[in-house]
Amino acid sequence: MKFLDVSGFGHSGKTVVADILKEIEGYQLPNYNFEFNLIRIQGGLLDLKFALVDNWSPIRSDSAIKRFIKLINRIGPKASIYVPSTLFLSNGMNYDSIFKEKFTKISHDYLSSLINTTYQGYWPYTMIDGSILEQFVARVKGQLGFSPKLVKIHLTDSSEFQLKTTNYLTALFRTIKEENTDVFVLLNALEPFNSEEGLNLLGDSKQIVVNRDPRDIYASSREINTGFIPRFESNNMGLKRKIVGNTLDIFLKRHIIYHKNVVKNTPVDRVLKLNYEELILNYEESLNKIYKFLEVCPSKHKKKGKFFDPNKSVANIGLWKNFNDKHSIAKIEESLNEFCWPK
């Protein structure tokens, strides 16, 4: 099974590529609201690889296994009053529902393949991740002379980690695979930062990174009143959504940092970088780039135009020209000029 990740950051227009891929035979996309976070999220597969393969130690590997178990128990179950524990554990990602109620089992089977031995012992490092109440109780018990609590300690086997992880991810997506699917399209599963590490875990995989004129990113995010750190402010009209984290200063700093860390020096046969604007204004040329990169015959593009119409999307280019805050646009041009369209 092959995977293709489509990434960008904040209103970059990656859904344009997703729409094009929906038109190509053999490509299966999840719901647009579903971003497969298991690779990039803290405590996820990249962190697991770091602790078990790149920088192994008994402390780090044991902690990473326990953190991954906690992650599975958080993102797997759907909160239900019929299973009271899920009301406290579930964070709403509901991966069991997405993967036909098999996510938790497949994930625990995967973890078992990584653990060589588990034994009970005194392990003070576990308490670092414990709650303040757990630490307080342990301290009181220690002062009263009780023996330290024994915990499970996992010794891991890092051999074939990449193969086991690829098989794990393949097993997950097989649960939702459609009959004619050749390639699963993931949205922002890797992000456009050091993506080759994640691509290796996905096996036979590639990534398309979509960039966009930062002036339009700013204008569109302000226009629809969204930000990275939104909050609700009460007024005499009721509740109104207001941007707090998307101030101009933070926007500029965020984009400078993001672009400094965006994927670099990655083999061109694995990562394709496209601009949102060229996808629309140079539609046919962009399609040919995508066909060549994916090694797909143009004849496979059987539903061309069904989900993406460049003639309609052209209205989303140059939004900044009609944006009222000209001062902010000028500051973006000054700080992020090399990323503005046209080049």
- Residue 193, pLDDT score: 85
- Average pLDDT rounded to a whole number, residues 39-62: 96
Categorize the per-residue pLDDT at 271 as very low, low, confident or very high, splitting at 50, 70 and 90.
very high
Decide if pLDDT at 75 tops 50. yes
As a whole number, mean pLDDT of residues 78-107 equals: 89
Q: List the one residue out of 212, 222, 213, 220 whose CA is nearest residue 247.
A: 222
Residue range 133-149: average pLDDT? 81
3-class DSSP state for residue 109?
Answer: helix
Looking at residue 343, what is its pLDDT? 64
- Quick check: 228 pLDDT over 60? no
pLDDT higher than threshold 80 for residue 23? yes
Q: Where are the beta strands (DSSP E) in the chain?
A: 2-7, 27-28, 115-121, 151-156, 183-187, 205-211, 231-235, 238-242, 271-275
Question: Is pLDDT at 244 greater than 60 in this prediction?
Answer: no
Name the CA dihedral angle for 174, 170, 287, 262, rounded to a multiple of 10 degrees. 140
Q: What mean pLDDT comes out for the span 37-49? A: 96
**Strands 2-7 and 183-187, sheet pairing:** parallel
pLDDT at 223 over 80: no
For range 296-302, the mean pLDDT? 96
Stated as kind and residue range, the H or E segment containing 200 is: helix 195-201
| Local confidence band at 159 (pLDDT 50, 70, 90 cut-offs) | confident
